[in-house]
Structures are given as C-alpha cells and as structure tokens.
C-alpha cells in the first residue's frame, strides 16, 4: 500500500501498523471497533467509507446519550427507573460510490485488493480497495480518515477514486446521516440497549458543498449539531449537487473518469453537543459551520501533520518496547494507541468502558475506568486522569443524593452511568458493588501520589475522599469483638454477590478511610471546609484499623469474603468447554454460592494493597484462587498476570499478559464488535509494568521489583512521576532507570528491589535484575482455563 | 333488612353476617374483596350490581390466565421470560337500572338506606338499597347473589326493583360484559400486572332473554365461554330486548312501575374454560348454554337451598366458637367462610394466594398455599388439600425441567405461578427461595399424617417427596467437619436473601429428607418405581442427620441464618412510623444486611419443627426475634401468635391472633382491595388451634397443650383426623375432647399435655387445663410494632 498522495513518503514501519484485509471481512464488527478513531470526545467506528457491509455504525460524542425507562418485572425501592444509553451522532464518514450505476459493495463483484490499516504512529486509518464491479469496471478507492487529537470537534476523511484501466462513469454520494439503523445484537445480557431513531430533527441545511444537521434527543435534553465542509477535486464536466433532508445531507458528484484521472473528495466534519437549554439550535449550528469551514481552510495535510505531532508527543511516554515477540509488540502499541485516544485533559471528561469505540454496556462508565484505565493513565497521561476524576467530582451531588436515597451516609457513586445517575438495572451486581467508591478514592490517591497535585488533592480530590470515607464509616459496624465489618456487599467477582467482608472491598475501604484521614490531617483547612473534625477522623482510623480481614487458618489462605472457603467447590469435572462463560449456562443461584470466581477479586486486592500480605500469603492465596478463577471477565487476566509475575510464575504471567493485550485484537471474548475493552488494554500495560516491571505505588513511593519473562529480550517503558519522565529498560541482566527529558539538575528517587536509588539527568542508573522468587511450580488453573501458552 | 321474598324467613343471626353500609362506600375495593363469593373454581368480587362505582371488577376462573413477557433491565440465565397473569372472565353480575332516565348511582341522588350483607351460613351476598334519584324518584333495589358451592360452573343473581312511593319509569340493563376496564393500581411492587382487553372475541349470541359469549386469550391458549339465562318477572306492558356485541350481551327491560309493583330479574350464569386445543368454541358454547338453562330450570330457590346445605355441611367442621369477643367471633367465621370458598375437592386444583377474590400477586399461587392455607385445611377439609397437592403433582414435570435448567437435581417448584411455570421476576426472592419445595413436602406429610391416605402417599405424594428430597441432597454439601450445609438460599423472611443455612430451610429440608426416606422404606415398591435404592435413602438420612443448625452460643439463641446475630442491628430509633412497611422506604441493600425481620422465619421453624428446640431455646429465640420482627408481612402474626401462646404470653398471642384474623376485615395492610390474604385467614385458624389449642402434629400424632387467653371464655373447634371429627372445647377450667358424629365403636387417641387420651363416641373426655408455662414478661416488639392491644 502506498501512502496517500501529497503526504511525505516513507517506508511504512509495520511495527506500528494494524492491518486487516479482505480475509477479515467476515469479522466486520470486530474490525470496526479495532479501527475506531477517537480523541476522547469524538469517536468514529472503523466502518467502511461506503457504509456497507457494516456490523454496527457509530459516531459517538462523549456524554451524548438518550434516556430510557427501566422496567422491572418486580420493582423495588430505589431501583433506578431511568437509564442513559449512548446514541450515535450523525455519521459523517460516509462516501458512497456507484460505478456505471453499480454500488461499490465488497460483497459483490471481484475484489482484487482490499486493506484497512491503522497507523498507530500517525493516528489515522487508511484504506485501499481495488474492485471490479459485477459489470466488469475496475476502480481503486483510497481513503485516509482521522479524528483530530488537538481539535476535539474535528474529524476528516480524504477519499479518492480512480479507474483501474478503462474509463468509468462514477457517482459519489457523500452523506451526513442521522438516525442510521443500528442492527440488534444477539440476546446477551451484556449487549447494549438500542434506541432506534433517537434524534429529533431541528435544522438541516445544504449550501453548495457544505451541509449541516441539528438534532435533539427526546428525553435527555441534549442537542447535537454536525457540519460538513467539502473540498472536492474533480475533472472537468463533473456535476455537483447538494441535497438535504431532516436526517441527511448529501453531496453528489457525477461524471466520467478516464484512466489517469481521479476524484478526490476531502471532507471536514465538525461536531458539537450541548444541553438544549444551554444554546439554541442556531447557535450550535453557527459554531459547527465555522469549525468545519476553519478545518477546511487549514486543510487535510495540516490536520494530518498536527495529528502526527500530537501522537509523537503522546508516544514519548506511552510507547512500550517489547523485543522478542513481534505480535505482542504490535499488540501493546495497539493497546496504548487506544488509551491515548480514550481520554482528554480539557474539561471534565471521563472514559466509558468501551471508550468511544462501540455501544457496549450502553456506553456506560463503570469501575473499569478508575480500576484499570486510570490506573495505567496515571503514569502515562496524568492530566487525563485529573480530568476524569474531576468528572466524578462534578457528579458528586448526585452521588450524595443517591446515598441519601439509599439511606446511607456519604456518597455512593453509580455502578454504571453516563450522566451521573445510577443506571444499573440489577442491584445485587450494581448498587451493592459499593467498592466502586473505594476504587474512585484509590484513583484519587494514586493520582495525587504520582503527581503531587496539591490543588486537586485539597479541592475536588478531598471532596471525593471525604464523601467516600463517610460512606464506609456509616455503612460498617463493629461486632462485640471490636472488629469492623462491611456486610452485604458485592465485590469485584461477579460470580458472587451480597457477601460479608469482601476482602477487596474491606482493604480498599481501609485505604479510603486512611487516605481521607491523612489528607484531612495534612490539609486541615480543607478538612474544615468539609466540616470534618478530629473526632470524625479518629472514627475513620478506628474503623480502618479494626477492618475485618477474613482468613481461613486451616487452609492457610485469605477468604475472598467471609465463609468463602467453606462454600461448595465448583464441579469443574462436570463443566464442559461449551459451558463457558458460565454466566450464560448457569444461574446466579449456582454461581454465587460456589467457590467459582469470575475474575480477580482477592488477587486484585493483593495487587492494590500489596502491603497487607506477606509474600507467603500471596503465594498461598494466588494458588488457591488461581485454581478457582475461570476468567469469564476481561478484567481478570491482567491482575492475575501481575501477581503471577510477582510470585515468579513468569510463563503464566506472560500468557496472562498476552490474553489481556490480545483481548480485542483476537476478539477472545467474542464481544469486541460492541467496542474495545479499554480496561483490558489498560490492564495489559499494568501487566507489563506492574507485573514484569514490578511497579508498586501503594506507599507514595515508586517501587520496582523487575523480572523478565524468557519470551522477551528487552522491555522498555516510560512513566510520569511528579513531572519527570522515567524511562525503565529491562533486559535479562539489568534494569536501567533514566530521565531522558530532564533538566540538568533534575533527580528522582525510587526503590529497586528494596534499595533506594537516585536517578539524575546525568546518566542512567543500572542495577542487576533481582533473583526470581521461588514459590514452586506454576499453580494449576481450572481445567481448560489456563491461558493459551505462547 | 328483610329476607328476600320467597325464601324461609327467620330472624337473621348477626353472629354470621358481615355488614357494610353507605358509610363504607369510601372503601369499595376492600368491600369488593371481603364480599367476594367463590366456590374454589369460579369467583365473583363483591361489586355492586350496577357495576359503578367500582374499585376493581373481577370474575375469576381457577386457572384462567393470560401470559405476558417479563423484560429485565439486565437479563440473566434462566430468568423467567414469561409470566402468567390472572384475567377476568366476562362479568355476569351486572344489572343496571335507570329511573326516569337517570342511572342508579350511589354517588348521586339521595341514599335513604344501603347495605350489603354477606351471610356466612347461607353462603350468599345480599343487598338492599333505597335511593331517591336526583329528579326525586324513589326505588328500592334488592339482590341476592350466590356462587354455587355444589355446581362449580354456576352463579346466580336474584334482583328486584320496586318504587318507594310514586310511579317510576325504569329501564333495566342486565349485561354480560367481557374486557371490562380494570383500573391501574398505585405504584407498588406488590400490585398486579394488568393486561387490558385480554380476551379475543370468538362467538356472541343472544336469543330472547339468554345470551352467550365465547372468547379466547391471545397467548396462553385458553378459551372461555359464559352463558346467561334469565327469568324476568315484570308487570304487563314491559318491553324486553336482547342485544349482543362481541364483548357484550344485554337484556333490556323497559316499563313503568306503580307502587306495589316490582321487577324481579333472576339471572343464571354458567362459565367454562378449556385449552383452545381441547374443545371448539361451539362445543364450549353448547356446554355453558345447557348449564345455564339447567340452572334456570332448577330455579334460584333450589340453588339457594343447595348452597345452604353445602355450607351447613362445611360448617360442621369449620365452625369455631369463640365466646367473649363478638368482633373476633365474627371475624374467625369470616375467615373460615373464605377458606371454605377457596378450595375444591373435584379435579386437581389449587388455591392462589388471594383465592378468587382479587388479582393481587397477579393471581399467583405462592408458598402461602402449602404453608398456611393447606396447613389449616388439612384439618378442616382434607379432600381440598389432596386436590391442591395433586395440582402440584400435575406440574411435577415442569418442576423437574426447571431444576434441570437451573442445573440442580430433583425438582424445583415455582415461587409463583398459575400454569406451573416459574413467574417470579426477582430471583433472589423467587428462585432462591427453595424452601417452597420443603413446604410442599411438609404439606404432603401433614396431609398423609392426618388422613392416612395411603393411595396418595404411595403415588403422587411419594413422587413429590422423592423429587424434593433429591433437590436438597444435590443442593447441599458437607464441609470438612461433617456438617451438611445449604448455602446461598432465601428463607421465608423477605428482608433477607441469599443467606447460608437458613434455619427454617435447613430444618424443613431435614423433615423433607427424612419424610421421603421413611415413606420409601415403608413402601419399598413405590420407591422402586422411582428408582430409589437404599444407598440413596442412606444419603438422604446422612444429609438430614448432619444438617447445619446455626446457633449463637454467646447470645444463647439460634440464628435465622449463619451469621445473622453478628449482623448490624436495625436503627429502630431512627425509623419513623411512616417508614413502614420498610420495603417501601429502604433498599434491599439495607434490609438484607441488618438484623431486621419482615416476617416469622426462625419462629415459623419453631412452629413447624417443634421437636427441634427445647422450651428454653424457644423462649430465648422468641424473645430475640420478636424484638427484631416488624411484621411487614401478613404471614407473620399467626405463627408469632402460636409461639407466643406456647410460651405463655397469652395477651400477645391473642393480639397477634386478632391481627391475623382482622387483616382483611380491617384492611390492616391497605392491600385488601387487591384480594383477601388467604394465608392470614388460614393463619388465624392456626393461631387459635395451634396457639390456644396447642395442636402439634410433627410426629404423626395429634397432640394438644391448650391454654386459654383471658379475653375468651370458651373456644371450640373441630378437626378431622383419620376420618373422625374431633370436637375440642376449651374453657378456663378444662379441655373437652369428643367425637360428636362418630359411630358407636369409634375411638381415637391423642395427647393432652403429655398424657395419652383415648376419645370414644360414648362421652367426652375432660381434662383440666394445664398450667401456663412461665417464661417471664412478654418480650418487647420493635418500637411501635407491637400488635394493637385488645
């Protein structure tokens, strides 16, 4: 594939390119997600320019959604009655082509060549197709698509068609299309709730080659405007026509192409949405028309160059070098590419579980964001984490109200949401999963620890820490023996619910309580602002100190929750390969009461709160839970991989890392078509950096305990820490720490395998790789559930 | 009020009559339920003849229902996708009147007199209204309505109108009306799901004074036919006209009445329903037309006499004499009246939670039936119990399939159903409440114990016992210490869910396992038929013997479920009177995890399995749980009352009995409009007979330990036991046992306060009342939740 004309030519570097060809046309939905472009505010799925065949079209704006009623067969007090559902903004990617009256459709005619290539370094999606129509006319179609990282409202397509040999009559229809039909997905509880025709037309306008649509939603009170500006380059005698209906703007170009001629159509789209009571349709229209026009004036080449520059800057920190495994080298770059795309630092914006790559989980934000995505981005793009946590803070009033409705103290943040309201329709796995609040507090503490951002910690951060600490303090209770318990909650493992003293929740709540107490004591004026007095802080500390930590002394393992190890064992021998994922073949009744674990829960606790366990406890716990964890969740492989690495089971760790990083590229869960698993992609970075790098951050210091799996020769990654970029390079023999961008007098301290190390701008610090811990053989996974061996 | 003309006159006995007057017109829904007439197959709500004002019209046929889809905000494996909902058959009670063109409507004009009277002994509903129209014309309207106990398809209305003083022009419209509008009830999770216009018209026909409607349901595959035959008695010159539309048959009588004249319209209605593939519309039509005609030929007076005779026979066993409290004397007769009406012995039919008195709980059968209604009827009408248990047996194949779908062994019967399918839309309180299976087995054992019905016990009964025993054996597991556990279930208390070793469930499962084992060993051939071998029986016994019985040694009380007594206490001080029922003001999250009990659970276990507890344990347990039980369920007062009586807290016991027996007459739960609480009415009998009579039956012998509350001078009740009718009469001084109907050589043995007593036909056996146990003062209830003192 040749680079698009008019742009600098260079040999493409295949270590930065994801390629799909005509052999992949049977997995379009997956491809559309993988090739989704986004800037954290605007997202385009990687659909074909001609719009068909298509699995699921989607153009998403962060926050744009419709509201729908939740109806329960048996309702209950405080069951959420309304839910947010992501909807698609008008689709501005469409460029349809007719060749001698026959539509370009890859399912017809003869496909000489076809590929889509995601250029991770340039941040664009390229496409080349050579096609002979059923009537025998050949054309070559190319396009380059980008969603601008620096300009949040702007996306653009640069599209060309030329005859392959003989002359052809062509008609080109460039559409901006609202309320595009989205096919229903199979009956799966994890799929999205579709709302057909969510947009109500308000304005439509076409003027020469430019067009505009303004719509509003019926229930959520939002207005969305999209303008397209075109720059067509056509041979003489081509006809051009603009046409508008309330849901469609169409630019049509018609004419004949001789060999050597081409049509090039560059389209600039500008999007905006706002609350209906925020600005009028005309105001919003004026804004996007000006933006689209400005983008056209700037031109595609400039947008392309800006994009590359923005990605270059992002990759400085985000890139990971993994020598020795080409597939996973590309896969981790793919993961980091989508993490770069997922968030923004401007405004208070968060990152939904699927980013802006699909409508899975209704476009909701879940704990995946704080627990996995922000956990990685804290060290890669901390400004994005600040933005996402400020988004939570913006919704603190709703969380306080929700806690009051639930008759709880403090705040309870939603299990799933777009607008801040609780949208979970199954309370045992939603409302009861209170750990989401501790995950949020944990993200605040991690961000504050990594950046030293005092403004945030004394402002929004403290508000969040205090409101969540108040939840735990009011929710828990002391038993006669002086132990503090959190009963009747649901932890991370979704194959359990409404348990007592879920270890993860308890330890994270302890961290939350102590973190809030520390912050208030460190910034007493900020504490005064929130009415926190020393007695309240003392109460938090007392609860944290007395927190129940369920342990089975006989088996020598911690319990995922009180009584867990006394529950009946799962009948793995009687469970067939087709019975996975178990949730589609067994009732919750059976899943909840057995010792079967969907996803890392106690293992995640050992990752988040490493200081709460001895190495021997970790080894025993890991072996016990590994044998019972089926990984029916994409959230599981990464933390399991980290602990496997810590315990010296490096082959298992590497295979778990591979599962995490290939989740979407290989569509391991058969769900990638609904959107990417950002938590799994973030988890992949954690599996590398926390697993093989041995990064731990629970004590406000950066600590490494590196170990390298035999499959890779070199692992290099960067971290941001208090304004520094630390580059860590691991080989079989040594760990190297350096500050490549630092001022001359810069320095930072870190722990390497129990030793304080001071890194300066002068020269790298090199240390030998520590010896591997020996906890015996790799512990067995459930039958058939070990990750694939690499 | 005078008796209806043409029927034997006697001074009405007010101890057998429930009366409502114009002062009660503001609680119509309640009145409609209280005055509902039923024969266990056909039920008419006690609506006014003229059909308005009305709270909820309803004409129910046992088993007639429509099916609807259940939609979940978040679906799950084996969540029921379809639910049954009771629907109303065409309404044949309607007789509308226009007086000089103005409709009789009690909300207009002047009401000189109005009353409806339910005659408990005659089994009819009478009505007398004297009304002056807005234009000043006075009429007297009377009616007598019956639903025939001996003729299941037949109901009849005898209606008259006469001028009060001057002449009046009248128009009388006697309607048979399908798809009558049912008003939506308030937003309450416990209300019914309404299906508007559930019936699809198939046939309609009118012929002189007779008419017919045949309809079918859209989804449940049922056909319902209703025929009406009239006998009008009118003065000369009255015009008569019949009219039919697909949903309405109307007979209209028009003419003038002078003082001393009257119109009498007697209507005979015949109902039938069948599966659509069972018989054609024409066949069903022919059947009901013939039945209605036959009823007319027999005449209203004969139907009335048959009704009285059938009730006389039923009352011989069912009557309870309670001297000293007129209100409760009438109330317990009211309760027994509805129990008599609720069931039938012909065919395999069960009794829904509301009987055929309303559409509450969608007309579903719940565990109320076996746990409360059949528990009483076993001794009052055992043939009805046999029929209801055979109905369960008819649905055993569905219960086996459901268990397989849930990947459990044996059978799991539905938590709520009409057609046998599980219709619960909230699995933690439905599917997980496996105790419904043990309740069923318990009802089998109780019925077999009280009747010695060997045919049943070796046939359907054994099938039920074995299928449920197999459930428990497969569901439970042994821990290392050899204890058998049932974890992750929901017990009777609906303010807890998904608990481990719910004591009620465990003890009832133990009874189930042992009952099945005993029956198989007693009837080995029947066991062979089911493939039960000695090893399986040994497994059941081992599980039963090792069953976990959670006990808190420190507090000296049993635990409702493992860990219950360590859970946080409910903040009763912070709970306002308006916060009850708690389920409408607190989330399940809070209810489930606290020591707050909706309804007798452990206390019910002490009633059902009395031999599992010492008297001291019972006293300690009762006091502990009484202080935490809020009685937000109508199922609670009765079992609490029984235990209170057993422990000598007779005032509390009497007040709990009163709450149970007045549940509907006083509409204590504000839900009587949806239908009567049959379990509470059955519970009232249990509160008397098990509470004050001290009846216990868990060891296949009849045992009494009587004690009389000071509010009553005499308590007399009858019991059927192995073909005998035992009459028990308690006074302050003595207990008298006799066999009033027995053959000369008949005899039966029973236990009186630990002494074997032989009762013969010759003479009553008299024994002094035992001394009251002394367990100290009455234990406190939660603040504000003690039952009203009488």
pLDDT recorded at residue B185: 60
Distance CA A594, CA A570 (A): 6
Which among A406, A430, A588 is the nearest to B76, CB-wise? Answer: A588
Between chains, do B408 and A590 touch, taking CB under 8 Å as contact?
yes
Q: What is the nearest CA distance from B578 to chain A, expressed in angstroms?
A: 15
Domain boundaries, given as residue ranges, for chain A: 14-281, 344-491+501-548
DSSP conformation letters of A496-507: --SEES-HHHHH
Tell me what pLDDT residue B2 has: 40
What is the average per-residue pLDDT within B63-80? 96
Q: How far is CA B608 from CA B153, B502, B509, B542, B600, in A?
A: 37, 14, 12, 21, 11
Please, which residues have CB within 8 angstroms of residue B637's CB and are 6 or more apart in sequence? Answer: B631, B656, B657, B659, B660, B663, B680, B683, B687, B787
Residue of B68, B69, B73 to mutate when probing chain A, most A C-beta within 10 A: B73
Asked whether the beta carbons of A257 and A170 are under 8 A apart, the reply is: yes
- Could you give the residue numbers annotated as active site of A? 494
- To the query of whether residue B494 is one of the catalytic residues in this protein, the response is yes
Q: Which of A83, A500, A589 faces B431 most closely, judged by CB atoms?
A: A589
* Residue A426 to residue B568, Cβ atoms within 8 A: no
Question: Considering CB atoms only, which of A77, A83, A592 is closest to B584?
Answer: A77
CATH architecture of A344-491+501-548: Alpha/alpha barrel (1.50)
On the CB side of A210, how many CA atoms lie within 13 Å of its CA? 18
Per-residue model confidence (pLDDT) at position A2: 40
Distance (Å, rounded) from C-alpha B10 to C-alpha B374? 35
Task: Let me know: does A497 contact A596? Beta carbons within 8 Å.
Answer: no
- Cβ separation A498–B497 shorter than 8 A: yes
User: Measured between alpha carbons, how far is A615 from A694 in angstroms, rounded to an integer?
Assistant: 14
Distance CA A711, CA A688 (A): 13
- The alpha-carbon gap from B84 to the nearest alpha carbon of chain A, in Å, equals 12
Calpha distance A158→A300 (Å, rounded):
7
> For B374-403, what is the mean pLDDT?
98
Contacts of A254 (CB under 8 A, 6+ apart): A169, A170, A171, A172, A238, A239, A240, A241
| Shortest alpha-carbon distance between residue A590 and chain B (Å) | 8
Q: Supply the pLDDT for residue A11.
A: 73
CATH topology for B14-285 is: Beta-galactosidase; Chain A, domain 5 (2.70.98)
Give residue-wise pLDDT tens across range B170-220.
999 999 999 998 776 655 555 556 788 999 999 999 998 899 999 999 999
Q: In A276-308, which ranges are E strands? A: none
Q: Which two tokens stand for residue B223?
A: 């056909």
Q: Is A323 annotated as a binding residue?
A: no
Q: What is the pLDDT of residues A626-673, one digit of tens each?
A: 999 999 999 999 999 999 999 999 999 999 999 999 999 999 999 999
pLDDT, tens digit (0-9, with 9 covering 90-100), for B151-163: 999 999 999 999 9
Tell me which chain B residues have a C-beta less than 8 angstroms from the C-beta of A488.
567, 589, 592-593
**pLDDT beyond 70 at B790:** yes
| pLDDT at residue A7 in the model | 45
Topology, domain A14-281:
Beta-galactosidase; Chain A, domain 5 (2.70.98)
Regions in chain A scoring below 50 on pLDDT: 1-9
Question: Which pLDDT value is given to residue A513?
Answer: 98
* Distance between CA atoms of residues B218 and B202, nearest Å: 12
pLDDT digits (tens, 9 = 90+) for A247-270: 999 999 999 999 999 999 999 999
B74:A590 CB<8 A: no
- Tell me whether residues B566 and A479 touch, CB distance under 8 A: yes
Radius of gyration of chain B (CA): 27
Please name the member of B75, B427, B479 whose beta carbon is closest to the beta carbon of A566: B479
Query: Is this model's pTM higher than 0.90 or not?
Result: yes
B703-704 and B747-752 beta bridge pairing: parallel
Q: What is the pLDDT of residue A208?
A: 84
**pLDDT tens-digit readout, B766-776:** 999 999 999 99
For position B6, what pLDDT does the model report? 45
Integer Cα distance of A164 and A112 in angstroms: 11
* Model pLDDT for residues B281-326, shown as the tens digit of each residue: 999 999 999 999 999 999 999 999 999 999 999 999 999 999 999 9
pLDDT, tens only, B668-682: 999 999 999 999 999
Mutation for testing the B interface, residue in A587, A591, A596 having most B CBs under 10 Å: A587
Cα A504 to Cα A605: distance, rounded to the nearest angstrom: 5
pLDDT at site A4: 41
Tell me the pairing of strands A210-217 and A499-500. unpaired
Locate the chain A residue with the closest alpha carbon to B592. A488
pLDDT value of residue A185: 60
**Left if phi > 0, otherwise alpha if psi is -120 to 50, otherwise beta: which for A558?**
beta
- Chain A, nearest residue to B432 by Cα: A589
User: Does the distance separating the beta carbons of A567 and B487 come in below 8 Å?
Assistant: yes
Distance from CA of A477 to the nearest CA of B (A): 6
Closest by CA to B630, choosing from B465, B790, B430, B493, is B493
How far CA B266 is from CA of B146, B258, B784, in Å, comes to 11, 20, 51
**Average of per-residue pLDDT values in chain B:** 95
ipTM: 0.94
A598 is in an annotated binding site: yes
Distance from CA of A488 to the nearest CA of B (A): 5
Tokens matching residue B34: 């209280």
DSSP code of B570?
Answer: P
Locate the chain B residue with the closest alpha carbon to A434.
B589
Q: Are B76 and A562 within 8 A, CB to CB?
A: no
Interface test with A, best of B589, B590, B595 (most A CBs within 10 A): B589
pLDDT value, residue A378: 98
**Chain A residues within an 8 Å CB radius of B428:** 428, 498
Q: B317-378+634-790, superfamily in CATH?
A: Maltose phosphorylase, domain 3 (2.60.420.10)
Phi, psi of A239 (to 5 degrees): -95, 145
Q: Which of B202, B272, B494, B612 is catalytic?
A: B494
- Do residue B485 and residue A566 have CB atoms under 8 angstroms apart? yes
Residue B145's H or E segment, with its range, is strand B138-147
Candidates B69, B71, B77, partner chain A, best to mutate (most A CBs within 10 A)? B77
Q: Do A427 and B588 touch (CB under 8 A)?
A: yes
Across the A:B interface, residue pairs with CB atoms under 8 Å apart total: 130
The rounded percent of chain B whose pLDDT value lies above 70 is 97
DSSP string over A440-468: HHHHHHHHHHHH--HHHHHTHHHHHHHHH
For residue B487, give how far its alpha carbon lies from the nearest alpha carbon of chain A (Å).
6
Residue B188 pLDDT? 54
Helices (H) and strands (E) in chain A, counts: 20, 33
């Amino acid at each position: 594939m040749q680079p698009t004309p008019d742009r600098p030519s260079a040999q493409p570097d295949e270590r930065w390119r994801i390629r799909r060809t005509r052999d992949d046309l049977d997995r379009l939905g997956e491809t559309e997600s993988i090739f989704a472009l986004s800037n954290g505010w605007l997202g385009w799925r990687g659909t074909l320019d001609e719009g068909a065949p298509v699995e699921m079209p989607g153009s998403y704006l962060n926050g744009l959604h419709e509201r729908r009623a939740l109806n329960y067969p048996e309702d209950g007090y405080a069951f959420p009655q309304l839910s947010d559902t992501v909807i698609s903004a008008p689709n501005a990617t469409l460029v349809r082509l007719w060749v001698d009256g026959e539509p370009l459709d890859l399912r017809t005619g003869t496909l000489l060549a076809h590929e889509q290539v995601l250029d991770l370094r340039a941040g664009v999606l390229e496409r080349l197709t050579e096609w002979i129509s059923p009537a025998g006319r050949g054309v070559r179609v190319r396009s380059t698509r980008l969603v601008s990282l620096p300009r949040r409202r702007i996306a653009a397509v640069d599209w060309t068609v030329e005859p392959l040999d003989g002359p052809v009559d062509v008609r080109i229809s460039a559409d901006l299309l609202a309320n595009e039909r989205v096919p229903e997905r199979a009956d799966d509880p994890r799929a999205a709730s579709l709302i057909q025709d969510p947009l109500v037309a308000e304005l439509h306008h076409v003027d020469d080659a430019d067009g505009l649509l303004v719509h509003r939603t019926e229930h959520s009170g939002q207005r969305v405007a999209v303008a397209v500006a075109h720059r067509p380059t056509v041979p003489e005698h081509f006809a051009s026509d603009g046409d508008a209906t309330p849901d469609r703007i169409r630019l049509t170009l018609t004419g004949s192409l001789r060999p050597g001629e081409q049509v090039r159509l560059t389209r600039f789209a500008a999007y905006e949405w706002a609350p209906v009571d925020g600005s009028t349709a005309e105001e919003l229209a004026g804004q996007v028309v000006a933006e689209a026009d400005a983008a056209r004036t700037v031109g595609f080449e400039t947008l392309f160059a800006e994009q590359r520059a923005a990605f270059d800057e992002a990759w400085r920190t985000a890139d990971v070098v993994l020598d020795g495994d080409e597939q996973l080298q590309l896969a981790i770059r793919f993961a980091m590419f989508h993490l770069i795309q997922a968030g923004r630092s401007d405004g208070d914006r968060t990152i939904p579980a699927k980013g802006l790559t699909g409508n899975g989980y209704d476009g909701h934000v879940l704990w995946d964001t704080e627990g996995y995505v922000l956990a990685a981005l804290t060290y890669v793009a901390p400004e994005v984490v600040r933005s996402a946590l400020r988004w939570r803070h913006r919704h603190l009033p709703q969380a306080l109200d929700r806690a009051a409705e639930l008759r709880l103290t403090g705040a309870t943040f939603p299990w799933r949401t777009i607008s801040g309201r609780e949208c979970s329709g199954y309370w045992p796995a939603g409302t009861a999963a209170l750990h989401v609040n501790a995950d949020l507090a944990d993200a605040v503490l991690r961000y504050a620890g990594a950046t030293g951002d005092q403004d945030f910690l004394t402002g929004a951060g403290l508000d969040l820490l205090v409101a969540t600490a108040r939840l735990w303090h009011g929710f828990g209770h002391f038993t006669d023996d002086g132990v503090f318990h959190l009963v009747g909650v649901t932890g991370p493992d979704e194959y359990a619910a409404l348990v007592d003293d879920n270890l993860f929740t308890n330890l994270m709540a302890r961290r939350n309580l102590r973190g809030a107490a520390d912050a208030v004591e460190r910034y007493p004026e900020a504490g005064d602002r929130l009415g926190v007095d020393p007695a309240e802080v003392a109460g938090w500390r007392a609860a944290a100190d007395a927190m129940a930590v369920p342990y089975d002394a006989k088996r020598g393992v911690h319990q995922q929750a009180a009584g867990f190890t006394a529950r009946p064992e799962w009948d793995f021998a009687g469970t067939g390969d087709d019975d996975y994922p178990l949730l589609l073949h067994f009732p919750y009744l059976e899943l909840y009461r057995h010792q079967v674990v969907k996803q890392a829960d106690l293992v995640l606790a050992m990752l988040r709160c490493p200081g709460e366990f001895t190495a021997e406890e970790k080894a025993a716990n890991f072996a016990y839970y590994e044998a019972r964890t089926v990984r029916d969740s994409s959230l599981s492989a990464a933390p399991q991989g980290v602990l496997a690495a810590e315990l010296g089971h490096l082959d298992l760790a590497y295979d778990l890392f591979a599962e995490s990083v290939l989740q979407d590229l290989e569509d391991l869960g058969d769900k990638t078509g609904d959107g990417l698993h950002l938590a799994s992609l973030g988890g992949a970075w954690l599996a590398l950096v926390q697993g093989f790098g041995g990064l731990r951050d629970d004590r406000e210091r950066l600590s490494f305990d590196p170990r390298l799996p035999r499959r890779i020769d070199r692992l290099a990654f960067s971290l941001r820490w208090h304004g520094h970029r630390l580059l860590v390079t691991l080989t079989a023999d040594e760990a190297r720490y350096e500050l490549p961008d630092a001022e001359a007098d810069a320095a930072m301290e870190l722990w390497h395998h129990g030793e304080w190390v001071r890194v300066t701008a002068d020269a790298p610090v090199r240390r030998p790789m520590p010896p591997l811990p020996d906890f015996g053989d790799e512990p067995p996974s459930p039958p058939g559930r070990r990750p694939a061996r690499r």
